[in-house]
Amino acid sequence: MFNAELHYGYGHLIGCETERIMKNDINNIDVLGTLLAQIADLEAQAAAIKDDLKDAATAPGGSKTFEGSLFKATVIESNRSTIDWKRLAADLGITDEQLASYTKTSAVFSVKVTSR
């Protein structure tokens, strides 16, 4: 298990454990890639089942509740409202400079995994 304190800066991993991570944990990279691929497959399967349930629930006379041996699924319809900020800013005559003055920027780190 990785217990050393690491520092993140400029998008790169900095610290005494960097070499160990890069040289000794290649199997962990492969495990991560495999797990992410399995998760993607499972999420696709779950999405397909959810789509089937939504289709059945929205059909005329369709039930909104479905029961299995272990779990129960309920299809819930709700409305979501969003604001078109670009259009609102344009209608109010807000300039890009004014928008920028209210914009907060934060560093975000992510790990992208691709197959070879």
pLDDT per residue as tens digits for the range 12-52: 455 556 666 666 677 888 999 999 999 999 999 999 999 99
Select from 66, 40, 38, 39 the least CA-distant residue to 52: 66
Residue 79: pLDDT band with limits 50, 70, 90 = very high
Among candidate residues 24, 32, 34, the one with its CA nearest the CA of residue 2: 24
The residue-averaged pLDDT of 53-72 equals: 94
CA gap 57, 78 in Å, rounded: 13
pLDDT tier at 63, thresholds 50, 70, 90: very high
pTM (2 decimals)? 0.63
Longest CA–CA span in the chain (Å) reads: 64
Note every long-range contact of 98-103, with CB atoms under 8 Å and residues 24 or more positions apart, other chains counting: none
Helix (H, G, I), strand (E, B) or coil at 98: helix
Q: What is the pLDDT of residue 103?
A: 93
